[in-house]
Structure 1
């Protein structure tokens, strides 16, 4: 079979590795998009020095740029293969969101090696890179954290949002000053953008149910710092979550309700882990969270 050395995608230049990763139209668009969120080497300064141009590039750039550079190249190759085999090309925005989430997950695993990273809501330090967040303090004894009962005449609403590339869910549970469950609920989420939106949806759904099932003052507990920051901002929100945050602020204004940040270690009753399931239990809860509820009550009585 006769073959041509010209790039089959753009038809402009000969297709070698430098063209595929640095010069082809899709590649340059993705480099531009990722440069808006990551510190990447400037494409126009990268030169084709021969077969080892990529190795030479990785040696010459700061360590903090190497991982973002490699995953960007990896995604370009994936898109190139998809188009070569006549499959739909991933959108630039879709690839951007995927790479941000993917690299954050990798750093999260490295920075928090002993933590539950399924929900992806720990704060990742980009400057820390792939170093453990526990360095220098790994041998310090950890103090057992406890969930604290609400005061008499008040309620506590624990909410949780979970997100993966495959599925997303929201969970919520309302308890009184004795630890008795007023209601528990979970909801499968469709078309959810990320972990932050999953948490905001859990907060919104939890508030709606709490306003319906109790007249008492409610303290809402979330383990997502970003969601809490969005809600408590004094200025109008202009993020992609703006409409969701507006609704939550309106619900908070209907009755005296506090929203506080708690540790993920004491928010284990989150029903968001029940992926793909929607349900509501009045004065009850599913078996999946029975152990976590029991542990909460035990720790409160220690």
Structure 2
């Protein structure tokens, strides 16, 4: 039976607020993290893990949010190492392991665009590593009409299929279509065309389970948006291993 006492310090009741924040081991991890200042400046009136989590999250940009979340994961992973494998990871090992794991992940931004005159639409996707460096991109043209949400969902589906085909299993797919992302994460039945696409996305994302689908704001999705826009304007589609000029300034930004 697993003890109710915190495995990382063996002195306090294991609750989220303690395990991830007030525990001496957690504090040692945060002290060598990229978000040390935000953690140390946490308001004293915060009384729950949820309040603290969302307060810190609201103070960070996208890259440092990833570091914050991976530190939480590292603390939990070290707890499991103690409970199940009878090891004693140090704070330095925990942070190094969390950072190495984070760097294995890729980000894939996706978007869709329309050419109403030609009754067609295009989807595009840009894959980058943790540091934001370009790896590969793809655009494709689809003839016929579709609702905006259907095209956005198709962009996600095509990205998932493409990623799986390349053998990547640690990828975060990012879309600025909140409607599509929410539908993919929902279990509510939907027999419309849109619902069938989002269901297919859900199935693809679950195998492997390490592929994630997240919503991001339009401004954060400029790379994929510019890629699709230029592909439609130039009627040029395909895969590129070189940064296209249409997104080079954004990639370097």
Q: TM-score, normalised by structure 2?
A: 0.54
Which of 100, 104, 114 is the aligned partner of 1:163?
114
Shift of 1:180: 2.2
Which has the larger Rg? 1
Determine if the alignment matches structure 1 residue 221 to structure 2 residue 196: no
Evaluate the alpha carbon distance shift between residue 222 and residue 279 of structure 1 in structure 2; reply closer, same or farther with a 3 A threshold. same
Between the two proteins, the alignment pairs up a number of residues equal to 150
* Partner Cα distance (2:62, 2:139) in 1: 20
Partner in structure 1 of residue 63 of structure 2: 148
* Partner Cα distance (1:287, 1:222) in 2: 22
* Partner Cα distance (1:156, 1:181) in 2: 10
Structure 1 unaligned residues grouped into runs of 5+: 1-144, 296-302
Shift of 1:214: 4.4
Partner in structure 1 of residue 237 of structure 2: 278
Shift of 1:198: 1.6
CA offsets per residue over residues 22-73 of structure 1, 9 Å max, x none? xxxxxxxxxxxxxxxxxxxxxxxxxxxxxxxxxxxxxxxxxxxxxxxxxxxx
2:133–2:251 Cα contact (<8 Å) kept: no
1:186–1:272 Cα contact (<8 Å) kept: yes
Shift of 1:196: 1.3
Determine if the alignment matches structure 1 residue 267 to structure 2 residue 218: no
* Partner Cα distance (2:171, 2:103) in 1: 11
Determine if the alignment matches structure 1 residue 258 to structure 2 residue 198: no
1:223–1:267 Cα contact (<8 Å) kept: yes
Partner in structure 2 of residue 104 of structure 1: none
**1:259 is paired with a residue of what secondary structure?**
strand
**1:178 is paired with a residue of what secondary structure?**
coil
**1:179 is paired with a residue of what secondary structure?**
coil
Shift of 1:278: 1.7
CA offsets per residue over residues 95-147 of structure 1, 9 Å max, x none? xxxxxxxxxxxxxxxxxxxxxxxxxxxxxxxxxxxxxxxxxxxxxxxxxx966
Structure 2 unaligned residues grouped into runs of 5+: 1-59, 67-101
CA offsets per residue over residues 175-212 of structure 1, 9 Å max, x none? 11122222101111211312212211211111112123
List, as ranges, runs of 4+ consecutive aligned residues in structure 1 with deviation greater than 4 Å. none
Partner in structure 1 of residue 165 of structure 2: 212
* Partner Cα distance (1:228, 1:156) in 2: 15
2:150–2:193 Cα contact (<8 Å) kept: no
1:162–1:170 Cα contact (<8 Å) kept: yes
**1:207 is paired with a residue of what secondary structure?**
helix
* Partner Cα distance (1:195, 1:164) in 2: 12
1:174–1:210 Cα contact (<8 Å) kept: no
Shift of 1:171: 0.4
Q: TM-score, normalised by structure 1?
A: 0.46
Shift of 1:164: 4.5
